[in-house]
Amino acid sequence: MVSLSSLPGAGKRDIVALEGVTKRFPGIVANDSIDLSIRPGEVHVLLGENGAGKSTLIGMLSGLLQPDEGRILVDGKPTQITSPRHALALGIGTVFQHMMLVPALTVAENLLLGGPWWQRPRTEELEARVAEITRSLGITVKLHAKVSELSLGEQQQVEILRAMVRNSRLLILDESTSMLTPKGIDELGALMRRLVEQGLAIVFITHKLKEAAAFGDRISVLKLGRKVGEIPPGRFRALGEQEIVSEIVELMFGKQKDDPEAVECPIRTVCVEAAPLLQVADLTVAPTDNAPGLSSISFDIRPGEILGIAGIDGNGQKQLAEALAGQRVATRGSVRLEGTAIEMLSVGERRQRGLRYLTDDRLGEGTVGTFPVSINFFLKQVGAAPFWRNGFEQRAEIDKRAAQLVREYDVRTPSLKTPVARLSGGNIQKVLLARELAEGAKVVIFNKPTYGLDLANTLASRQRIRDTAARGHAVLLISTDLEELLSMCDRIAVIANGALVGTVENVDDARTKVGRLMIGLAA
Amino acid sequence: MTGLFSEVFLSALMFGAVTAAIPLLLAGLGEQMSEKAGVLNIGIEGMMLAGAYLGFVGAFYSGSLWLGFFTGAAGGVAVALIMALLCVRIGLNQIVIGIALTLGLEGLTALLHHFQFSRSYPRLPAADATVIPLLSDIPVIGPAFFKHHLIVYLAVGLVFGVGYLYRHTQLGLNLQAAGDKPAALDVAGIDVIKTRTIAVLTTGALAGLGGAYLANVGAGLFIPFISNGAGFLGIVLAMLARGRPVWVLFGALLFGVCLSLTTAMQVAGINIPTDVIQMLPFLAVMIMLVLFGRRASLPAALGIPYERGTR
């Protein structure tokens, strides 16, 4: 085990440096002559939109990809990082954006992967180590639960834990905060601070400018494969948080200086007297082994209103969304849409009546990755006129309507025939938005609608949600991003352990109240 | 009909069931390992044929059954090597290559048999049985289960060995990860290609051994197409067993009973057309599939070649 504090020259020399690194893929230059220096004792923030080349850069550092030009120096020596094993041996640990856990194995087994094959897995040793790390992280991890039964947020925690278990001296966090709660993000920030104080180097990738400003020591900004700017530590310390944010925004977008996420919340008038569009009363779902159930959930949403559901991931948010959409059986309770009971109806019938559900699992249950964009628009209408007649696909009709939706929702796709999995996360989300909001929507459930999206797409999705409400629809917005809820909702309900623990009007002190509810205090 | 349920008949029936089950067991265990690691090994029928042929050749010319088992396993590995090269390393379609290997080996072994043995049809002497003291004295069950060649007990022991491997070793974890989420294994620093290659070669060895047993102990001779779908039955067993070696054993015994019953009923002269009787094992497969097939869960990355850095 390397003692991190005793590393010679901590804070002085680069652990890893990139010199003029270029990586090309057919048709695009993913990284164009990038220089980067990663030093012990620093949190180096990499900022950039989707497609800016961050993932490619991480791929080269973690041994998955080889640069076409330029070189990577490890401890000052030019090194070819030939494989992930090599990267690990060099002390480079990565938490990838896409889950890198084996769903059929338990958490413990996943953490043990990679040991010498002739050995028995050292479970006891692992348990002690994990207990030590989780204590400092302030997280709880179910070591013996199967990964497939964990929520996405919990899986991400396991991945961070795994990198810690491996004693990395350079830790790369690729979008690691996107699934964490505000409290979890703060804790991660504090942990990163502790780690760099011991001499570890961290590369931290995030879309959120505030996190970059709050947790970073050095910021590099990537744009379309190029590094467009860097704020070194000296300058970083001299600037205030607001100044840093505005400088980054200028580097990234070359436009206005304010925080682009802080949109003025336009005053929508929710007619208080109007009859609620969606009434949920006493909705109860039985818990399963590793997922909480729902206990007696009740709320109303009026036309034009956005009701937010805040809470730490894995507290029944997905169960709530699925129970409303009809994908999960409720043991008790009623769901009324425009006064009519729909709790006995099937998924399809609920959709017909105007209840729409945007899943957070965009590629899994949301779309069929290998199908073209055009068909994915009509997945929930397969067989229905005018797109199918007598069982035959009406190619012309489909393409015409699909082209219209692509324009309307600004889906950036090479063609209508492109398999949807080839699009970026933001564009897949646009396909989903187009499908669910298109015609006849009355009540729309959004589950983590901006998870993993870059800033531009996040803002676009949020605008869609606001527009949906402005059209007089009822919106249920489930999110783990408190800022998002505060900037969008009329009311915010907090879910914990499958129950709504309180509902707060989104006025002045809502942040404190929701925060108190989330950590288990009364508002 | 009176002879049908006599003690002697019953124990002969069960003895035959065990003999018929061993090749299926070895094929099933082998296929299970490949599938666990994410390789759908349709070529296993070809591997069995290679094992049967080379196993017979080895035993026939050396006079040693054990050398025959060794050459049989080596024959299976040789075919598996082609499979590993084409499907694991180069990443070609596993189903197409598997079918090609099976068809190719069917032709090749039939041809070699034609030149070498078709005039004389040589036979091996009956295999020596290892009689287990005391247990073999139990009526009916004793002669049925405890008077077999040593390799039979070893094969059954292997079931538990493999079970231990899957549940309690690092290699077992690696195999499962290679089949379920190879990318996760890769970033954990384990070579996916190597892991899958190990699995496919082991499959070859087991299938080859199964083939050699079939020829040397089961039949005592080699004839073309001797495996008669045993490899394919192994694929079905692996699928139904859901990753558990013990279930492969139970399944193999069940099919073994059916196979043995076809022979027994013909010998007993029951007045049913032989074609109907011969359908029995395959009918059993279909019934098993209907009953349990729906709940079979296969590894997520089964059949998908792994290439680093693709989504």
Instruction: Give the model's confidence band at A163: pLDDT under 50 very low, under 70 low, under 90 confident, else very high.
Output: confident
Tell whether the model's pLDDT for residue A256 goes beyond 50.
no
pLDDT of residue A314: 74
Q: Give the pLDDT confidence score for residue A487 in this predicted structure.
A: 87
- The closest alpha carbon to A166, from A120, A119, A124, A129, belongs to A129
Question: Is the pLDDT confidence value at A254 over 60?
Answer: no
Q: Please list, in sequence order, all residues whose beta carbon lies within 8 angstroms of the beta carbon of residue B211, skipping any fewer than 6 positions away.
A: B23, B47, B48, B49, B50, B51, B52, B53, B55, B72, B75, B76, B226, B227
Burial A433-466 (b: 16+ CB within 10 A, else e): bbbbbbeebbbbbbbbbbbbbbbebbebbbebbb
Q: How far is B294 from chain A (nearest CA, A)?
A: 18
- Three-state DSSP class for A310? strand
Q: Does B171 touch chain A (CB under 8 A)?
A: yes
Greatest mean pLDDT among A96-100, A296-300, B46-50: B46-50
Q: Any CB–CB contact under 8 A between B85 and chain A?
A: no
Q: Is residue A6 predicted with pLDDT exceeding 60?
A: no
- Cβ-defined contact of B170 to A102 (cutoff 8 Å): no
List, for residues A502-513, the tens digit of each pLDDT value: 898 888 778 778
Q: How far apart are the C-alpha atoms of B219 and A190, rounded to whole Å?
A: 71
Q: Which region among A150-159, A175-184, A320-329, B25-34 has the lowest average model confidence (pLDDT)?
A: A175-184
3-class DSSP string for A128-149 = HHHHHHHHHHCCCCCCCCEHHH
Q: Determine the 3-state secondary structure of B98 from DSSP.
A: helix
Which pTM value belongs to this model? 0.67
Q: Which residues of B touch A97 (CB under 8 A)?
A: none
A81 versus B264: which is more confidently predicted?
A81
A491 contacts A307 by C-beta, under 8 angstroms: yes
B173 contacts on A by Cβ (under 8 Å): 105, 109, 112-113, 121
Q: Could you report the per-residue pLDDT of A109-138, keeping only the tens digit for each?
A: 898 888 777 777 788 888 888 888 877 766
Q: Which residue has the higher pLDDT, A267 or A329?
A: A329
Q: How many residues appear in chain B?
A: 311
**Hey, are the CB atoms on B188 and A119 less than 8 Å from each other?**
no
Domains in chain B, start-ordered, CATH in brackets? Answer: 2-118+130-295 (1.10.3470)
Contact check, Cβ <8 Å, B299/A104: yes
Chain B contacts of A115, Cβ < 8 Å? Answer: 170
- How confident is the model at residue B82, as a pLDDT? 96
Mean pLDDT of chain A: 82
DSSP three-state, residue A460:
helix
By Cβ distance, the residue of B171, B189, B300 closest to A84 is B189
Judged by DSSP in three states, A176 sits in coil
For residue A452, pLDDT over 80 is answered with: no
Instruction: Report CB contact under 8 Å: A102, B180.
Output: yes
Q: How many Å apart are CA B303 and CA B41, to the nearest integer?
A: 9
Q: Do B170 and A62 touch (CB under 8 A)?
A: no
- Domains of chain A listed by start with CATH number: 1-91+167-258 (3.40.50.300), 97-166 (no CATH), 278-354+440-518 (3.40.50.300)
pLDDT top residue among A520 and B123: B123
Q: Tokens 């011969």 correspond to what residue?
A: B278
Which pLDDT belongs to residue A10? 42
| Interface contact B180-A112, CB threshold 8 A | no
What pLDDT, on a 0 to 100 scale, did the predictor assign at position B216? Answer: 92
- Would you say B237 and B251 are in contact if contact means Cβ atoms under 8 Å apart? yes
Within 118-137 of A, beta carbons closer than 8 Å to B belong to: 118-121
Token representation of residue A499: 């129950």
pLDDT of residue A179: 63
> According to the model, what pLDDT value does residue A52 have?
75
Q: Tell me if A114 and B189 make a contact (CB, 8 A cut-off).
A: yes
Q: B174 vs A113: CB contact, 8 Å cut-off?
A: yes
pLDDT of the residue at B59: 93
pLDDT of residue A3: 41
| B-chain residues near A110 (CB < 8 A) | 184
Residues of B in contact with A62 (CB under 8 A): 187
How confident is the model at residue B143, as a pLDDT? 80
Over residues A208-230, the pLDDT tens digits come to 777 888 888 999 988 778 888 88
Burial class (CB within 10 angstroms; exposed 0-12, middle 13-18, buried 19+) of A6: exposed
Q: Does the pLDDT of residue A181 top 80, yes or no?
A: no
What's the pLDDT score for residue A4?
42
Say which residue, A95 or A520, is predicted with more confidence. Answer: A95
What's at A316, amino acid-wise? Answer: G
Q: Are A307 and A477 within 8 A, CB to CB?
A: yes
The pLDDT assigned to B4 comes to 56
Out of A100, A115, A120, whose CB is closest to B187? Answer: A100
Work out the average pLDDT over A312-338: 88
How far apart are the CA of A243 and the nearest CA of chain B, in angstroms?
A: 38
- pLDDT reported for residue A9: 42
**Is residue A340 predicted with pLDDT exceeding 70?**
yes
B186 in contact with A, Cβ within 8 Å: yes
φ, ψ for residue A334, nearest 5 deg: -130, 150
Chunk chain B into consecutive blocks of 10 residues (it has 311) and report each block's average pLDDT, rounded to whole numbers: 66 88 95 94 95 95 93 96 94 93 95 88 82 81 83 93 91 91 87 94 96 92 89 90 89 88 75 77 80 74 78 38
